[in-house]
């Protein structure tokens, strides 16, 4: 339970708290909480198959991020929000497939399937099991391997969400995915089922009330959870103390009173009107086109509807951990691309990963990149349109767009295309491009990558998905994503155990460790194969912090 939750919760309890003056821990935390700011949320938008890096990244590698920088890229739709964006550069995600991943000490990761192990590891930073040391083997284990631990959304939700689970939505409406594309794992080898737009919206409608701001705890109470359960940790510690019978009676009386007066007052912003303004109350489009680009109305498509529900969820403080996943193997017919997105990422007409370039593939990939950028911009716009305290909901949010890989043909995970909006309540810098792997010595030009080195339209060529020729040189952009995830968790105020791994009951107040290892080579051979696999460089990136 976070401090801000207690502030509003205890404020709502009023007399009940006054009636329990001996509950010093609650009083202290309440007083501390009064100084805290508004709720924070994390919203992640995830897309598959990388990007045309040369047109995705701005030319500069570090410094102020301006609208002009973005206008020259496929991120142009985000230009109006430049001052509220942060682009962490030089990050490597886990765990990369290469043709020579043949076991411990060889290659840059496991030798399973290039997509299966990336999807499984990207948000877990855990290796997948069963392991394969043969990158070109066959059979089910290669394609059905799953990570051995939970993904970031679940690790965060366990501490931050009243339900203990994230709001996880597949924007194409698919509920349960296969390991080759699944990213949300509630535990090791447990794929989490996504909810539909209808289910997610239905879950919000009973929160539409007028009154003081609602938070995760009051939401939980509205769902029938007892206040004494919300402050269970405090009460457990208190009850463990040696008390007189009189004090025990007082405590019991307080607990009863607290539960009786715990009626919910919902957010002034969490209303049907807001839902309508955002467009979250619309129905999914069912006309022509594909499941993403079908029009809901003149201003939004189906993908935007999911974003609107995410924004509404944030405004209602219904769930502070929201993941929006875009589909794999998708045909963007609404964009005029009648080809599979995975095949296009390899610049081919089928998924043979190597062969003659197909016409317009690079142009189509840029079109898809621009579409995703527009969808992220629309989400950012919604979040920034809602006032909260002296700023907007966006200001108290970490909204991140992450991609499965850097270049889709190379499957490379260094130089990850990541862009963030919002500072998480002042934790992160904004309006900046920050190079987190300056030590590699890469020039800005080298960090644009090599997506245009094969299959540029008009040039008859062969696409090669094995040699990673379209990826950024593996020497560059290797700052581990684990550290960025630590930043996000710390921005949300999460606690850690004594070792620095996320832990609901602390005792540490800063997360410094996440995942199996922060070195991609440690994943080679699978769990336990590389001796000394660990978090080598604990803590978040100080370069990203506002202060």
Residues in contact with another protein by the rule CB under 8 A = 99-100, 102, 113, 115, 134-144, 173-174, 176-180, 329, 331, 338-340, 342-343, 348-355, 465-466
Taking the CB of residue 165, how many other CB atoms lie within 10 A of it? Answer: 17
**With respect to another protein, which residue has the nearer C-beta, 179 or 471?**
179
Nearest distance in Å: CB 100, another protein: 6
Measured at the alpha carbon of residue 425, what is the angle toward residues 480 and 126, in degrees to the nearest 5?
A: 25
Query: Smallest gap, in angstroms, from Cβ of residue 165 to another protein?
Result: 20
Min dist. Cβ of residue 357 to another protein (A):
13
In angstroms, what is the minimal distance from the CB of 178 to another protein? 4
Nearer to another protein, 36 or 99 (CB): 99
Angle CA 46–48–54, to nearest 5? 100
Say if residues 74 and 53 touch (Cβ distance below 8 Å). no
Q: Closest separation between CB of residue 23 and another protein, Å? A: 48
Nearer to another protein, 465 or 540 (CB): 465
Task: State the minimum distance, in angstroms, from the CB of residue 105 to another protein.
Answer: 15
Name which of 76 and 466 has its Cβ closer to another protein: 466
- What 453-458 contacts at long range (C-beta under 8 Å, 24+ apart), as own/partner pairs, is 454/347, 454/357, 454/409, 455/347, 455/357, 455/358, 455/361, 455/362, 456/362, 457/359, 457/360, 457/361, 457/362, 457/363
From residue 275, alpha-carbon distances to 280, 308, 440 in Å are: 5, 8, 47
In the complex, minimum distance from the CB of residue 181 to another protein, in angstroms, rounded to a whole number: 9
Tracing tokens 């006032």 back to the chain, one arrives at: 387
Q: Which is nearer to another protein, 179 or 449 (CB)?
A: 179
Q: How far is CA 354 from CA 181, 329, 371, in A?
A: 21, 17, 26
- Identify which of residues 180 and 403 has a Cβ nearer to another protein in the complex: 180
Q: For another protein, give the closer residue by CB, 130 or 211.
A: 130
**Smallest separation (angstroms) from another protein to the CB of 287:** 12
Name which of 158 and 342 has its Cβ closer to another protein: 342
In terms of CB distance, is 277 or 329 closer to another protein?
A: 329
At 444, which helix (H) or strand (E)?
A: none
CA distance 135 to 458: 33
The SS3 call for residue 170 is strand
Helix 197-205 vs helix 302-315: crossing angle, to nearest 10? 30
Q: Which is nearer to another protein, 101 or 222 (CB)?
A: 101
DSSP codes, 356-405: EPPTTHHHHHHHHHHHHHHHHHHHHHHHHTSEETTEETGGGEEEEEEES-
- To another protein, the closest distance from the beta carbon of 358 in angstroms equals 9
Instruction: Report the alpha-carbon distance of residue 262 to residue 253 in Å, rounded.
Output: 14
Count Cβ atoms below 10 Å from residue 60 Cβ, excluding itself. 16
Instruction: Enumerate helices (H) and strands (E) in the chain, giving the number of each.
Output: 18, 18
Shortest approach of another protein to residue 322 CB, angstroms?
A: 23
* Cβ 188 to another protein shortest distance, Å: 18
180 vs 474, which CB is nearer to another protein? Answer: 180
- Cis peptide upstream of residue 545 (ω within 30 degrees of 0): no
**Cα(269)–Cα(515) distance, rounded to whole angstroms?**
36
115/519 with CB nearer another protein? 115
Closest by CA to 217, choosing from 33, 490, 3, 32, is 3
CB 143 → another protein: shortest distance, Å? 5
Distance (Å, rounded) from C-alpha 337 to C-alpha 366?
A: 11
């Amino acid at each position: 339970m976070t401090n801000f939750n207690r502030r509003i919760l205890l404020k709502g309890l009023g007399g009940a708290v006054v009636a329990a003056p001996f509950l010093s821990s609650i009083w202290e935390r309440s007083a501390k909480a009064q100084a805290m700011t508004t709720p924070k949320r994390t919203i992640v938008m995830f897309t598959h198959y990388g990007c045309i890096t040369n047109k995705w990244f701005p030319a500069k590698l570090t410094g102020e991020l301006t609208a002009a920088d973005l206008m020259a890229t496929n991120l142009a739709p985000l230009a109006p929000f430049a001052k509220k964006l942060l682009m962490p550069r030089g990050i490597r995600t886990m765990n990369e497939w290469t043709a020579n991943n043949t076991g411990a000490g060889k290659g840059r990761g496991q030798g399973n399937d290039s997509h299966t192990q990336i999807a499984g590891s990207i948000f877990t930073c855990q290796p997948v099991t069963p392991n394969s040391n043969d990158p070109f083997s066959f059979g089910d284990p290669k394609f059905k391997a799953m990570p051995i631990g939970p993904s970031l959304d679940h690790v965060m939700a366990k501490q931050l969400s009243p339900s203990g689970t994230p709001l996880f939505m597949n924007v194409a409406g698919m509920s349960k995915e296969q390991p080759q594309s699944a990213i949300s794992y509630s535990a090791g080898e447990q794929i989490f089922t996504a909810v539909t737009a209808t289910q997610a919206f239905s879950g919000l409608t009973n929160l539409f009330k007028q009154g003081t701001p609602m938070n995760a705890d009051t939401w939980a109470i509205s769902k029938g959870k007892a206040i004494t359960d919300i402050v269970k940790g405090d009460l457990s510690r208190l009850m463990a103390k040696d008390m007189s019978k009189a004090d025990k009676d007082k405590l019991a009386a307080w607990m009863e009173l607290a539960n009786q007066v715990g009626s919910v007052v919902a957010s002034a912003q969490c209303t049907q009107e807001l839902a309508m303004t955002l467009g979250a109350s619309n129905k999914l489009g069912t006309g022509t086109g594909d499941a993403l680009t079908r029009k809901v109305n003149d201003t939004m498509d189906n993908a935007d509807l999911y974003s609107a529900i995410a924004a509404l969820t944030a405004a209602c403080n219904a769930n502070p951990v929201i993941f929006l996943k875009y589909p794999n193997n998708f045909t963007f017919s609404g964009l005029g691309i009648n080809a599979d997105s995975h095949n296009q990422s390899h610049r081919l007409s089928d998924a043979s990963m190597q062969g003659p370039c197909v016409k317009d593939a690079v142009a189509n990939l840029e079109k898809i990149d621009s579409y995703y950028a527009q969808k992220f911009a629309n989400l950012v716009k919604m979040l920034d349109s809602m006032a909260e305290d002296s700023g907007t909901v966006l200001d108290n949010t970490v909204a991140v767009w992450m991609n499965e890989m850097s270049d889709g043909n190379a499957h490379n995970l260094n130089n990850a295309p990541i862009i963030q909006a919002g500072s998480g309540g002042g934790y992160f810098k904004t309006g900046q491009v920050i190079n987190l792997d300056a030590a590699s010595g890469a020039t800005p030009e080298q960090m644009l990558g090599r997506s245009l080195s094969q299959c540029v339209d008009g040039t008859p060529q062969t696409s090669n998905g094995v040699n990673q020729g379209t990826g950024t040189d593996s020497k560059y952009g290797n700052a581990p994503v684990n550290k960025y995830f630590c930043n996000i968790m710390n921005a949300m105020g999460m606690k850690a155990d004594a070792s620095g791994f996320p832990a609901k009951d602390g005792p540490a107040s800063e997360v410094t460790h996440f995942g199996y290892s922060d070195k991609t080579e440690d994943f080679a051979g699978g769990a336990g194969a590389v001796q000394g696999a660990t978090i080598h460089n604990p803590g978040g990136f100080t370069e990203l912090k506002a202060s």
